[in-house]
């Protein structure tokens, strides 16, 4: 029978072995039994990692919103689909039922159609964590428009780059957003971005803060009056299995952000399956993922995965520190949250506060705790386990990526025994491999290498929008016939995986992936800067923070370094966002370089992390004298 819901370890191994022995048969059974199809597939899988080309459920037809909404109407019409908890705790919680969500999605879909949006068009969504964000995502999917959600903490420049990269013709935004005691004028940021987006002709504006906005004639329209007059019935557009569902940008180590393209059927099957098993969701559970829908975690595990399973999914607009650091726990108690999924950086920030913030709340409803986004350190793991879980809720340390679409390596709670800092075992259908420097697979246990996946799974991203060559070069060329993750990992004596972190120039700060190159590009725009290099160094809350080595142009004049630091961080805020600001800036006379002119970040990383006992091989350096100079002037 069904392999859909794993309930104990032996069953996990049985299911896992089957999924490796015959992946097509395995996924076909799951797809057959748990989803609504307009037409079944002709072929489960065809793939070629050299092109690369991956197709799942070819020939099938469906609409993902019929799986998230319509099919629940018979049994769950009055069940809460989205439980919205506003930023301000005195504003009322909203319970949006499946019936109501279905209606609101259909209405918004009709508005999009009335604005000329057609199947295949790209729609940008730039919204705070309010119900309309989930509704906008689903409304796009309803009519086959490809959504491109941009996290509403990104700057105007970052937004414009993303709009232009995939030629969005319409944006859904809001007047403003609330975050803690701050109000942010989102519409102003959008206006600034749109000055550089000639192809975008319509912006639909949702009222959230009531702040003052300038509406540009012919381009900007309030959404509310359009919704008022739109029909609330909208037939779902029938999609092919491999039609794109969404684009989501992720930063690479070089160049502009990569628009990862996810397609419909495979993404749906994997998001739903992994949600069910990793969170052990049961009817009447209240599931809460604290991520923003602007990230892949929100796409897969606030919207699509939970709704495909008919779950109640909490959407929280605010921040963990407002009105005080007990907010998360207050919400858990208030709604009797059963599964709680957050990031190590949030856990570390909360662990720094007085323990009473946690202890004054009844957290006994919790059954599963999750983490995602970066390696969780042992101390944070224990704090989470002891104080939030009371050693009674298994922690699922879930490793995955924007590119993988869903959770890849994770314990199955109540089945897989957990060990702090280990993501443990691959989910069914996932075949990890560790590779050595000679591109050979390292077999056996108690080994460490670069983490690859050797067989396709349904929710792997199919391409980078508009740049298939970059997709091939980034993920499929380092190791033959393998998907390369960019992460390093260790496999212990029993075969558990521990992710050791990125092996490329991506730095994860508070769970946000930042490529060093775009930050350096922003710094180098400063007229006084000659050259810069950014590295990460360990930070007790953020996981990593940014250390910048900056060489100034020689002009002979004296510059005020404090002012320079402020100006540089302002440039970074404008180009990327405040998340990418540098914690430390050291002005240097030069940067250590190889003969081919590459900055030796490995050395700079060690200096920033106070790990200078063994700097490794510096013999290839063009200018070894810079190393001592940088060490002598290192900031504490």
Q: Which residues bind ligand 7RM (CB under 6 A)?
A: 250, 295-297, 372-375, 397-402, 423, 485-487, 499, 502, 508, 513
Closest to ligand 7RM by CB, 338 vs 513, is 513
* Whole-number Å distance between alpha carbons of 244 and 278: 25
* Whole-number Å distance between alpha carbons of 69 and 67: 6
Kindly state the smallest distance separating residue 396's Cβ from ligand 7RM, in Å: 9
Secondary structure tally for the chain: helices H, strands E: 21, 31
Closest to ligand 7RM by CB, 285 vs 487, is 487
Contacts with 43 (C-beta within 8 Å, 6 or more apart), sequence order: 55, 57, 58, 59
Cα 38 to Cα 29, 67, 91, 273, 633: the distances in Å are: 17, 11, 41, 20, 66
CA angle 315, 318, 323 (to 5 degrees): 135
Does residue 108 sit in helix, strand or coil? helix
* Whole-number Å distance between alpha carbons of 448 and 438: 13
Closest to ligand 7RM by CB, 9 vs 503, is 503
Closest to ligand 7RM by CB, 336 vs 470, is 470
Contacts 24+ apart (CB under 8 A), 71-74: 71/36, 72/98, 72/310, 73/98, 73/99, 73/102
Kindly state the smallest distance separating residue 160's Cβ from ligand 7RM, in Å: 21
Residues in the chain: 636
CA 50 from centre of chain: 26
How many CB atoms lie under 10 A from the CB of residue 561?
A: 12
Does residue 239 sit in helix, strand or coil? strand
Closest to ligand 7RM by CB, 187 vs 299, is 299
Which of 212, 145, 207 has its CA nearest to residue 174? 207
DSSP-derived pairing of the beta strands 463-464 and 258-263: antiparallel
* Whole-number Å distance between alpha carbons of 407 and 31: 18
For residue 444, the 8-state DSSP code is S
Closest to ligand 7RM by CB, 317 vs 487, is 487
Kindly state the smallest distance separating residue 452's Cβ from ligand 7RM, in Å: 12
How many CB atoms lie under 10 A from the CB of residue 311?
A: 26
Kindly state the smallest distance separating residue 183's Cβ from ligand 7RM, in Å: 27
Closest to ligand 7RM by CB, 276 vs 502, is 502
Kindly state the smallest distance separating residue 343's Cβ from ligand 7RM, in Å: 8
Closest to ligand 7RM by CB, 502 vs 606, is 502
Kindly state the smallest distance separating residue 102's Cβ from ligand 7RM, in Å: 28
Closest to ligand 7RM by CB, 258 vs 526, is 258
Contacts with 295 (C-beta within 8 Å, 6 or more apart), sequence order: 151, 248, 402
Cα 12 to Cα 267, 397, 420: the distances in Å are: 22, 17, 20
Beta bridge mates, 71: none
Closest to ligand 7RM by CB, 172 vs 396, is 396
Kindly state the smallest distance separating residue 165's Cβ from ligand 7RM, in Å: 17
Kindly state the smallest distance separating residue 254's Cβ from ligand 7RM, in Å: 16
Kindly state the smallest distance separating residue 496's Cβ from ligand 7RM, in Å: 13
* Whole-number Å distance between alpha carbons of 123 and 24: 33
Closest to ligand 7RM by CB, 356 vs 473, is 473
- Element housing 569 (H / E): helix 561-575
Q: Which residues of 39-61 are buried (b: 16+ CB within 10 A; e: fewer)?
A: eebeebbeeebeebebbbbeebb
Kindly state the smallest distance separating residue 375's Cβ from ligand 7RM, in Å: 4
Beta bridge mates, 136: none
Asked if residue 175 lies in contact with residue 144, where contact means CB atoms within 8 angstroms, the answer is no
Closest to ligand 7RM by CB, 10 vs 378, is 378
Kindly state the smallest distance separating residue 423's Cβ from ligand 7RM, in Å: 5
Kindly state the smallest distance separating residue 399's Cβ from ligand 7RM, in Å: 4
Closest to ligand 7RM by CB, 297 vs 588, is 297
Contacts with 390 (C-beta within 8 Å, 6 or more apart), sequence order: 363, 364
Place of tokens 């004639």: 217
Kindly state the smallest distance separating residue 371's Cβ from ligand 7RM, in Å: 6
- Element housing 603 (H / E): helix 601-608
DSSP-derived pairing of the beta strands 94-97 and 80-85: antiparallel
Kindly state the smallest distance separating residue 390's Cβ from ligand 7RM, in Å: 22
Closest to ligand 7RM by CB, 277 vs 513, is 513
Kindly state the smallest distance separating residue 544's Cβ from ligand 7RM, in Å: 11
Closest to ligand 7RM by CB, 129 vs 568, is 129
Beta strand segments in 166-269, E: 170-174, 177-179, 182-184, 202-206, 220-222, 239-240, 244-250, 258-263
Does residue 324 sit in helix, strand or coil? coil
């Amino acid at each position: 029978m069904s392999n859909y819901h794993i309930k104990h370890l032996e069953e996990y191994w049985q299911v896992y072995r089957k999924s490796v022995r015959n992946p097509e048969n395995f996924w076909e059974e799951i797809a057959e039994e748990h989803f609504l199809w307009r037409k079944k597939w002709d072929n489960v899988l065809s793939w070629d990692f050299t092109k690369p080309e991956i197709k799942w459920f070819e020939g099938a037809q469906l609409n993902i919103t019929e799986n998230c909404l319509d099919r629940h109407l018979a049994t769950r019409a009055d069940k809460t689909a989205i439980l919205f908890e506003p930023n301000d705790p005195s504003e009322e919680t909203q319970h949006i039922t499946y019936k109501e969500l279905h209606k609101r999605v259909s209405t918004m879909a009709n508005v999009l159609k009335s604005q000329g949006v057609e199947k295949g068009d790209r729609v940008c969504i730039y919204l705070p964590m309010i119900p309309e964000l989930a509704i906008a995502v689903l409304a796009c999917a309803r009519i086959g428009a490809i959504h491109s959600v941009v996290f509403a903490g990104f700057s105007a420049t970052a937004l414009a780059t993303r709009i232009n990269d995939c030629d969005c013709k319409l944006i859904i935004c809001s007047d403003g957003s609330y975050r803690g005691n701050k109000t942010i004028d989102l519409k102003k940021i959008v206006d600034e971005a749109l000055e550089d987006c000639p192809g975008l002709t319509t912006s639909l504006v949702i009222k959230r803060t009531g702040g003052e906005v300038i509406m540009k004639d012919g381009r900007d329209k309030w959404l509310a009056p359009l919704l008022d007059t739109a029909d609330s019935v909208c037939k779902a557009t029938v999609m092919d299995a491999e039609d794109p569902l969404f684009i989501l940008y992720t930063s690479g180590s070089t160049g502009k952000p990569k628009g990862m393209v996810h397609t419909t059927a495979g993404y749906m099957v994997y998001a739903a399956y992994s949600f069910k098993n990793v969170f052990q969701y049961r009817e009447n559970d209240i599931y809460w993922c604290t991520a923003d829908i602007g990230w892949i975690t929100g796409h897969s595990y606030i919207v699509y995965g939970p709704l495909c399973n008919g779950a109640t999914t909490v959407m929280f607009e605010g921040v963990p520190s407002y009105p005080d650091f007990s907010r998360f726990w207050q919400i858990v108690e208030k709604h009797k949250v059963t599964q709680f999924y957050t990031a190590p950086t949030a856990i570390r920030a909360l662990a720094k506060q007085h323990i009473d913030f946690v202890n004054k709340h009844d957290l006994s409803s919790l059954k599963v705790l999750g983490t995602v986004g970066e390696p969780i350190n042992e101390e944070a793991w224990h704090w989470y386990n002891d104080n939030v879980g009371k050693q009674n809720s298994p922690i699922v340390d879930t490793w995955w990526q924007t590119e993988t679409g869903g959770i890849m390596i994770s314990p199955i709670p109540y089945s897989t025994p957990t060990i702090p800092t280990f993501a443990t075992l691959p989910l069914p259908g996932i075949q990890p491999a560790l590779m050595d420097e000679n591109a050979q697979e390292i077999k056996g246990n108690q080994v460490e290498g670069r983490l690859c996946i050797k067989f396709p799974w349904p929710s792997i991203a199919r391409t980078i929008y508009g740049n298939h060559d970059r997709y091939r070069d980034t993920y499929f060329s380092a190791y033959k016939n393998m998907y390369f993750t960019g992460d390093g990992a260790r496999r212990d004596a029993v075969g558990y995986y521990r992710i050791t972190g990125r092996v490329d120039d991506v730095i994860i700060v508070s769970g946000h992936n930042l490529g060093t190159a775009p930050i350096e590009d922003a710094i180098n725009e400063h007229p006084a800067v000659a050259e810069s290099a950014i590295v990460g160094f360990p930070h007790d809350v953020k996981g990593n923070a940014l250390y910048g080595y900056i060489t100034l142009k020689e002009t002979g004049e004296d510059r005020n370094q404090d002012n320079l630091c402020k100006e540089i961080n302002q440039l970074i805020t404008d180009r990327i966002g405040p998340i990418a600001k540098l914690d430390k800036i050291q002005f240097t006379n030069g940067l250590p370089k190889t003969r081919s002119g590459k900055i030796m970040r490995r050395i700079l990383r060690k200096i920033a992390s106070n790990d200078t006992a063994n700097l490794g091989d510096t013999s290839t350096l063009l200018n070894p004298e810079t190393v001592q100079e940088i060490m002598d002037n290192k900031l504490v």
